[in-house]
Amino acid sequence: MTASGGDTQHGIRRRNLARVLQAVAAEGPLSRAGAAARIGVTRAGVAPLVDELLRAGLLVETGRATPSGRGRPGSELAVSDRGPAGIGAEIGVDHLAVCAVDLRGRVRARAATEAANRHSAPGPVLHQLSALLAGVAAEIAAEGLHPAGLTVAVPGLVARGTATVVHAPNLGWREVDLAPALATALTPAPVRPDSPEAPADSGPSVPLGVENEANLGALAELRLGGGPDGLAPPPDFVHVSAEIGIGAAVVVDGQLLRGARGFAGELGHVPVYPDGLPCDCGGRGCLEQYAGEEAVLRAGGLTPERAAAEHPGPGARSALLARRATAGDAATVRALAEAGTALGIALAGTVNLLDPRAVVLGGALARLAPWVLPSLERELTLRTAVATTPDRPGRPAVAVSRLGADGPLLGAAHTALRAVLDDPVNACAPPHSPPARFR
């Protein structure tokens, strides 16, 4: 039987299951009547959907709902704190990190370690990351959770629809396929072959996605809210994040603008001074050479080695810069202002081309925003083509992410979890049974 628009009844049911689960996850606890109202169906129509989600363990009943009219009050529904979890991982230049989030969006486990990944061979890096993944998987298993998917954030270009890092200059990686090393990193412990729980195929167990870290930072802004008031940014914005490299993600109508090959957003290699410093990419005068963390350290008379010595662990460079700027060190303050100028020049082209409503600064830039923003905003104002009027500012608003350096990792975990929210039917399968997929 086919509904209008060519949708089958089965397809409509899958979408309505997703809508119920998403409504309760976003706004719950909800009564059955409340869930029905949110998705625009009758209470009788929502009942079998709720029952299926309850049987699958994705929803739970928490008790009596507040009476809102005639009849006996129903039970409140909430997403379960057990069952599927999204696993996010991040490969940084100087660190590795993993976290797990449940259907309620809470971080249930997290692990991170310092790691000198710059120009390291992929094999040892991925082996160390696999160990972190195994530890987080064991931790959440003790709480009744199982991995529903894994998304990995990387500081480089990822071929669209694959797990291949085409080029990550600050890691020194080219054409590295992460799938062989990570596809089985979250495979459940094997069971005896004669066990009724033994899967027919003991292959990889969870979907694997690999994504540019700036893109995942932008998705985190969309899903978790980036402003100080907790509200999500507008549906059209540019998200900029920086460590040694600088990446950007362009969001249009709430969707990532990926480009034909998936390489959109390489802001760090936009030339701001065409005859300027040589860059590892082969060009000259790239933004990264003036606004990346190591470039700012050099401009302030510092070295990455000193930053690591004074502030061990991830974030050493931005932590040292922030401390010195707070203390009023003139060279550091000047270097950060010059970085803001370069950022403003690079972003002006993006703003004039795409007309976003906002620019969001994430990553290390969130910590350094007090010293970077004035010169950045000045350049945007000077270089934006649309004239400013009292009721229409010429440049977009510039906001600072409240997620900071955690944005890419949280974005990765929530992206992995999204597969469950978008397709609960698939998520209802036993944890060991789905084949690996690459997004």
Element (H, E) at 61: strand 59-64
Q: How far apart are CA 282 and CA 293, in angstroms?
A: 19
What pLDDT does residue 74 have? 61
Asked whether the beta carbons of 20 and 50 are under 8 A apart, the reply is yes
DSSP helix/strand/coil, 312: coil
Asked whether the beta carbons of 151 and 412 are under 8 A apart, the reply is yes
- Alpha helix ranges (H) inside 208-359: 213-224, 288-291, 293-299, 304-310, 316-326, 330-354
pTM for this entry: 0.84
pLDDT in tens, the chain (439 residues): 334 444 677 778 888 899 989 888 888 788 888 888 888 888 888 888 988 899 888 999 887 655 555 555 567 888 888 999 999 999 998 889 999 999 988 999 999 998 889 889 999 999 999 999 999 999 999 999 999 999 999 999 998 889 999 999 889 999 999 999 997 787 654 433 444 433 444 444 688 999 999 999 999 998 886 544 445 678 899 999 887 889 899 999 989 888 888 888 889 899 999 899 998 778 899 999 999 888 999 999 988 777 767 766 667 788 889 999 999 999 999 999 999 999 999 999 999 998 899 999 988 888 999 999 999 999 999 998 765 555 556 688 898 988 888 999 999 999 999 889 888 877 555 444 443 333 4
Q: How far apart are CA 177 and CA 315, in angstroms?
A: 27
Q: Can you read off the two tokens belonging to residue 373? A: 């923003």
Strands 164-168 and 208-212, by their bridges, are unpaired
Element (H, E) at 46: helix 43-55
Q: Can you read off the two tokens belonging to residue 139? A: 């931790």
DSSP string over 162-200 = SSEEEEETTTTEEEEE-HHHHTTTTPPPP--TTSTT--S
CA neighbours within 13 Å on the CB side: how many for 255?
4
Q: How far apart are CA 25 and CA 421, in angstroms?
A: 9
Asked whether the beta carbons of 77 and 31 are under 8 A apart, the reply is yes
What pLDDT does residue 206 have? 83
Q: Can you read off the two tokens belonging to residue 182? A: 């990570």
Task: Output the CA torsion sign for 182, 187, 189, 195.
Answer: negative
Asked whether the beta carbons of 338 and 290 are under 8 A apart, the reply is yes
What pLDDT does residue 212 have? 93
What does the H/E/C string look like for 95-163?
EEEEEEECCCCCEEEEEEEECCCCCCCHHHHHHHHHHHHHHHHHHHHCCCEEEEEEEEEECCEECCCCC
153: left (phi over 0), alpha (psi -120 to 50) or beta: beta
What are 110's strand-pairing partners?
99
What pLDDT does residue 7 have? 66
Q: How far apart are CA 136 and CA 98, in angstroms?
A: 7
What pLDDT does residue 431 have? 47
